[in-house]
Amino acid sequence: MTQAVLRRAKIWSVAVIGALAALLAATPILHRSAPLTAFSDLTQCLLLLSGTVVFIPHAIKSHGRLRLFWILLSMGVGFWLGYQLLWTYIEVALHQDVPSLFSGDIILFLHLVPIIAAIALRPHIQPDEYAARVGRLDFALLLVWWIYLYIFLVMSWQYAVPKEAAYNQNLNALYLVEKVTLLIALTACCATSRGAWRLFYANLFGATLIYATSSYIANWAIANATYFSGSWYDIPLATSMAWLTMIGLWSNASAPQGGLGRVFSAYGVWVARGGMIATFSLPLFAAWAISDHSVPSTVRTFRVIVTLASALIMSIMVFVRQRLLDRELTRLLQQSRESVDNLKQLQEQVLHQEKLASIGQLVGGAAHELNNPITAMLGYSELLLSTPMSSAEKDLASKITQNVRRTKSLVAGLLSFARKTPTAHASVDLNTMLRTAIKLSEAQCQTLKVDVRMDLDTALPRIIGDSNQLLQLCVQLVNNALHALTEGTHRHLSISTRGQNGTCILQIAYGTPGAAPLTSVAILPETIGLTACLGIVQEHQGIISCEQFQNRGSIIRIELPTNAPAAHLKVSAAAATALS
């Protein structure tokens, strides 16, 4: 608490204690008189007004369920204040005794209902044990049941057949049960909390116990005609009122400090069972009302009508509750299915990674074995170039040397992929890599009579990457397309590049132009080269995807960042399926 709040709490506490002390002093001085009645009634009104107002700042400062908790507490004390104002108006303003069959008694009975509802919220417990909306409906069923009991047992002797003795007996018994229920709820909250919350519940339990005991004694005094306003019977009642103000003044409004004690996870289940039991009890009360011939027929008819009306209301609430529960179960089922799907995808990714690791080991071994003969071939080809030969022969020997060098570079790239060793990255022109790849595959394109169309962006930004790996990527993708076109009748190969938002986009399309795409992703032939392509794209932190067409043909799309940041690798699910 701040100094200002602490000072205000101290002044407020002194005023409340002073009012209680003044009432204690006035009781023996004024004796049984109109001034004592007025002073006692007005003092109790002020104490209850203080108890109502003191919880309002807590509700303003807090949020969510905790705010509702403080609002319900303030509402419960406010109902009590409303009852006391009616009592004061009759005794002080009208100078009359409060009638025995008093319509305002329902306000006194209902003032504990919001307090019980506040305790049932259990703000010291995290709200993840039970669905909030379903839990509120369960408790609403219990509240309707309490009101039904009051109308069934008490009001039947107030309006159907006015009978003072039966009215007072049923009212006092039902009110006692309600107070005992509140005390049991507070005891349970004390057992499941600790620290500041346990102290709060203990103080509320003490104030409620004093009120329950003193009101029971006061009712006994009223029945024996020994009670009057301002008598000693009012001192414990006023004490409980003052205690409520002290609880509100010295409680922390913002947080459930102190945490949890023992948490009963079956709480929500028991609330639901209580609501169901309350609903199923209505036919029993209806049977009792019909079969109880000791009461007048008017009372029996009144009770049956009240039971039917309550059954209708509670049935609607049960229907709404079941709808909410069905929606909750459907949501949980959907989450379960999504969890299973995610688990399957995770398993597939693990298998895919294991397959890549196995292929990497195979590639590493094969590349290592190929490296020695390729080195020898390179040496012999360079030696051949140094011997005298015709220009045609020299051109052929030069092509052999060029292709052997490229093969050696590809093998080095495969070794790098298999060993996962870092490679030197530099600025690379992707268009140049594509032109070189097409030039190296020119003989195969002419043999297959493939129509090659290139649409390269002249303003394409350069890529930071490994030139050997990127050349390997372009060559392998072109060769894969040419391999797919060997069996087709429409041999078209389209290669395009463009820059977009700091990304170079490479698209290779082959097959029938204008074909409609399928809904599923193409499953390409599984080769070491395609696996190496996937590894190269991953190393350059790019994205690769594949889309198959109804007629033979596909589009492979690769996105490579112009300046690859240190970020997580992104490979689409389409690529993982297509290249696995």
Residue 93: its pLDDT value, please? 92
User: Binning pLDDT at 50, 70 and 90, where does residue 1 land?
Assistant: low
According to DSSP, the β-strands at 451-455 and 492-500 are parallel
| pLDDT at 575 exceeding the cut of 70 | no
Q: What average pLDDT does the structure give for the chain?
A: 80
302, 158 contact by CB (below 8 A): no
Identify the weakest region by mean pLDDT among 47-61, 124-138, 214-228, 460-474.
Answer: 124-138
| pLDDT at 387 exceeding the cut of 80 | yes
Render pLDDT for 236-260 as a digit per residue (tens, 0 to 9): 999 999 999 999 888 875 544 444 4
Residue 489: its pLDDT value, please? 60
- CB neighbour list of residue 456: distance below 8 Å, 6 or more residues apart: 431, 434, 435, 495, 496, 497
Residue 488: its pLDDT value, please? 58
Which letter does DSSP use for residue 97 in this model? P
Higher pLDDT, 483 or 173: 173
Residue 32: its pLDDT value, please? 86
Residue 30: its pLDDT value, please? 86
Q: What is the CATH number of domain 3-331?
A: 1.20.1070
Higher pLDDT, 378 or 505: 505
19, 239 contact by CB (below 8 A): no
Percent of residues, the chain, with pLDDT higher than 90 = 29
Residue 53: its pLDDT value, please? 94
* CATH architecture of the domain with residue range 338-421: Orthogonal Bundle (1.10)
Render pLDDT for 56-84 as a digit per residue (tens, 0 to 9): 998 888 887 788 889 989 999 999 999 99
User: Binning pLDDT at 50, 70 and 90, where does residue 443 land?
Assistant: confident
Residue 162: its pLDDT value, please? 92
428, 504 contact by CB (below 8 A): no
pTM of the predicted structure, to 2 decimals:
0.57
Residue 577: its pLDDT value, please? 39
Residue 419: its pLDDT value, please? 59
Render pLDDT for 393-415 as a digit per residue (tens, 0 to 9): 888 888 888 778 777 777 776 66
Whole-angstrom CA distances from 228 to 96, 232, 233, 241 are 12, 9, 8, 18
Residue 518: its pLDDT value, please? 41
User: Binning pLDDT at 50, 70 and 90, where does residue 41 land?
Assistant: very high
> In 10 A of CB 395, how many CB atoms?
11
Residue 549: its pLDDT value, please? 66
| pLDDT at 390 exceeding the cut of 90 | no
User: Binning pLDDT at 50, 70 and 90, where does residue 567 land?
Assistant: very low
Residue 377: its pLDDT value, please? 83
User: Binning pLDDT at 50, 70 and 90, where does residue 571 land?
Assistant: very low
Render pLDDT for 341-363 as a digit per residue (tens, 0 to 9): 888 888 887 887 777 677 667 76
Residue 205: its pLDDT value, please? 95
Higher pLDDT, 440 or 45: 45
Residue spans per domain, the chain? 3-331, 338-421, 423-578
Q: What is the mean pLDDT of residues 528-542?
A: 75
Render pLDDT for 141-198 as a digit per residue (tens, 0 to 9): 777 888 899 999 999 999 999 998 899 999 999 999 999 999 998 998 888 888 888 8
DSSP one-letter string for 314-364? HHHHHHHHHHHHHHHHHHHHHHHHHHHHHHHHHHHHHHHHHHHHHHHHHHH
| pLDDT at 116 exceeding the cut of 70 | yes
Q: What is the torsion angle, in degrees rounded to the nearest 10, for the CA atoms of residue 28, residue 247, residue 78 and residue 164?
A: -50
Q: Which residues pair with 509 in a beta bridge?
A: 494, 555
Q: Which residue has the tokens 């990714």?
A: 349
| pLDDT at 271 exceeding the cut of 70 | no
Residue 342: its pLDDT value, please? 86
| pLDDT at 573 exceeding the cut of 70 | no
Q: Choose the CATH number for 423-578 among 2.60.40.10, 2.40.128.20, 3.40.50.2000, 3.30.565.10.
A: 3.30.565.10
Residue 565: its pLDDT value, please? 43
Residue 213: its pLDDT value, please? 93
Dist CA 145 CA 122 (whole Å): 21
Residue 566: its pLDDT value, please? 40
| pLDDT at 555 exceeding the cut of 60 | yes
User: Binning pLDDT at 50, 70 and 90, where does residue 417 land?
Assistant: low
User: Binning pLDDT at 50, 70 and 90, where does residue 18 land?
Assistant: very high
